[in-house]
A and B are shown apart, each in its own frame.
Chain A
């Protein structure tokens, strides 16, 4: 889907992105992770050509991003930034309709799409359509930012630390939303963050960057279990690595199929950390496991978590 081929970028002799190659498959939720100044934002902004790379090539669906004018390219790519960047003088509906309007959609189609997206982001279309950005809370503004990025049904969504500026509770809710949207739409998402917890929760693929180079590429489990360098080990966090392992492994992996248990069930897709949390909360050592439809699959025991 996205292919970075030996891409470099320097500012005044300082190399920010250094000969970086990276391939992100269709439908992946790829998180670019690293400390500030590692080049992750620059990498993201080179994909929609807000920054032009010095050397190398970036291909989107096999086509070089420089094959079309940057404006045309950007209208095909959703873009969400940290401080939402909503246009303060436009109503919420106008903000969401930005790209469809640039693409000269029919008026009726735009209106229908705006309402559909507001509903997708759990904002009541009737209540929010005609409001202005300053009338919304930070979390609601960021939801509108996501809706605006999705408006023209782009093939790819670029998100530059989108939830860094909101409070932890709102961030947790927004992370849940974007995970759900990824599941439901199957869009390819490239997401920049410096927050390891956020990366482990959301990513299907994590690319850790260090000084403009790719330090490691792998699934969240890979990254936690097999850090390939001291940098990655330090960044993922030597402390609390066990808890991080629990948070990237699913209940389904440790479940005892067919065994029954009492009490509130947990879904098989939940992490082992969530299972541990529920056991601690209810003072029990056994939880029934169900699938997404509520069908009982088996149970999971406290001892299984540390197996």
Chain B
């Protein structure tokens, strides 16, 4: 006898399948309606009067943002499918680009009728919309389980759109762009200097920290004092550490003029790099210890029993299995060094921090932002690239 399956009661109210998208859209809407999209100030030193999205950017961009928001909201109620996640990623990316273009357009409109000294800066509404759109892109990419290539393409498309808009002069009327324009010559050099500071500290930190971590992994007696010292170093505030290094280094430069000729002294890049290396040692050593120590004992036992030499065991078994953790450590120190290198401008190390401290000195918020935003973008890019590296390496590591 057949028994008919009871009909399932249909739900009157549908609940979103993906809570993240509706929440982000709601936050973006509140930001766009409740806060100024841009600020209009008579000059670069005073803070501006907020101008709302529809007044500033006009109906076209307002409608564009509203439409993409509505699209994302609707997608929050769809079943979880990879193809729909790609659609969500595309719409969120579009929202991000519309927000950028809208801000540029608003600045052009507002400054057209204003005196030459007037400045248009980015408002809270813009940042909230931009942040929500960026989070929606990340969420959608995660849900799409996009492979490394997919994430790379998404990043390249958004970055390409930004560069294309910048080249077309979309952002030229923004205060941030004015600050950039007046420092165009030193900007690239400062970014380069920043990267050199980071690379010059992460490289030695790996060369010192990895062997320290390996030594701690082999000897428990060494582990405790090593991490006591490294933890202590980590607790010293960065400005204090920069200050502490000035005295011995200037004494050293005085005693050995040859070193001074090489640019080593109490101020400048030398103390900055030393401090960055010291801060990077703890994460590098700790992740080396955790990574190599996390290789299962039976795997090592089997490898030794098969007749691998110590060197073969290290390079063919321990390093590849520890690699994800090792690269995670590298990611932590790189991002950390990009942030700390900003502070190093205080002791004359240069880099993006020089914009931040110049801006603070002049009460010019947008100059501060120029340095800070670039540092943040650098950190994002470094984090993203190292994540890609980890994903690529750990996917397949055959002999």
Contact = CB atoms under 8 A, between A and B. Distances in A.
A89 B305 contact: no
Interface in A69-90: 70-75, 79, 81-90
B361 interface: no
Main secondary structure of the interface of B (DSSP, over half): helix
B307 A87 contact: no
B398 A94 contact: yes
A201 interface: no
Interface residues of A, number: 28
A98 interface: yes
B399 A50 contact: no
Interface string B368-399: 00000000000000000000000000000111
A159 to B, nearest CB: 11
A88 B296 CA distance: 10
Interface in A222-251: none
A115 B287 CA distance: 39
A88 B398 contact: no
B399 A101 contact: yes
Contacts of A94: 398-399
A91 interface: yes
A174 to B, nearest CB: 17
Contacts of A158: 305
B326 to A, nearest CB: 14
A110 to B, nearest CB: 11
B317 interface: yes
Given A89-B397, A89-B398, A94-B399, A102 B306 contact: yes
Contacts of B308: 71, 98, 102
Contacts of A86: 299, 302
Listed residue (A79, A89, A90) with the most chain B CB atoms within 10 angstroms of its CB:
A89
B398 A90 contact: yes
B84 interface: no
A2 interface: no
Nearest to A132: B396
Contacts of B399: 90, 94, 101
Nearest to B396: A89
B298 interface: yes
Interface residues of B, number: 19
A48 interface: yes
A90 B299 CA distance: 12
B306 A74 contact: yes
A98 B317 CA distance: 11
A148 B298 contact: no
A203 interface: no
Listed residue (B298, B305, B317) with the most chain A CB atoms within 10 angstroms of its CB:
B305
Contact of B307 (A74, A84, A88): A74
Listed residue (B298, B307, B309, B317) with the most chain A CB atoms within 10 angstroms of its CB:
B307
A99 interface: yes
B309 to A, nearest CB: 5
A84 B398 contact: no
A68 to B, nearest CB: 11
Contacts of A74: 304-307
Contacts of B304: 50, 74
A94 B298 CA distance: 18
Interface string B307-322: 1110010000100110
Listed residue (B296, B303, B308) with the most chain A CB atoms within 10 angstroms of its CB:
B308
A84 B305 CA distance: 12
Contacts of B185: none
A73 B307 CA distance: 7
A98 B398 CA distance: 12
Contacts of B317: 87
A152 to B, nearest CB: 9
Contacts of A82: 298
B301 A81 contact: yes
Interface string B55-69: 000000000000000
A190 to B, nearest CB: 13
Contacts of B397: 89
Contact of B298 (A71, A73, A85): A85
A295 to B, nearest CB: 44
Contacts of A72: 307
A112 to B, nearest CB: 18
A79 B302 contact: yes
B297 to A, nearest CB: 9
A147 to B, nearest CB: 13
Contact of A102 (B298, B302, B312): B312
Interface string B324-355: 00000000000000000000000000000000
B305 A71 contact: no
Given A89-B321, A101-B399, A71 B302 contact: no
Contacts of A91: 398
A300 to B, nearest CB: 44
Interface in A163-211: none
Given A89-B321, A91-B398, A102-B312, A79 B298 contact: no
Given A94-B398, A94-B399, A102-B312, A85 B299 contact: yes
Interface string A86-108: 11111100100011011000000
A50 B305 contact: yes
Listed residue (A79, A84, A85, A88) with the most chain B CB atoms within 10 angstroms of its CB:
A85
B298 A83 contact: yes
Contacts of B312: 102
A85 B301 contact: yes
Interface string A48-63: 1010000000000000
A97 to B, nearest CB: 8
Interface in A152-166: 158
10 contacts: A72-B307, A73-B307, A74-B305, A75-B306, A79-B305, A83-B298, A85-B305, A87-B302, A90-B398, A158-B305
Given A86-B299, A99-B307, A102-B307, 19 more contacts: A50-B301, A71-B309, A72-B307, A74-B304, A75-B306, A81-B298, A81-B301, A81-B302, A85-B299, A85-B302, A87-B299, A87-B303, A87-B317, A88-B299, A89-B321, A94-B399, A98-B308, A102-B306, A102-B312
The 6 tightest CB contacts between A and B, nearest first, are A85-B302, A79-B305, A74-B307, A75-B307, A85-B298, A83-B298
Interface of A: 48, 50, 70-75, 79, 81-91, 94, 98-99, 101-102, 145, 148, 158
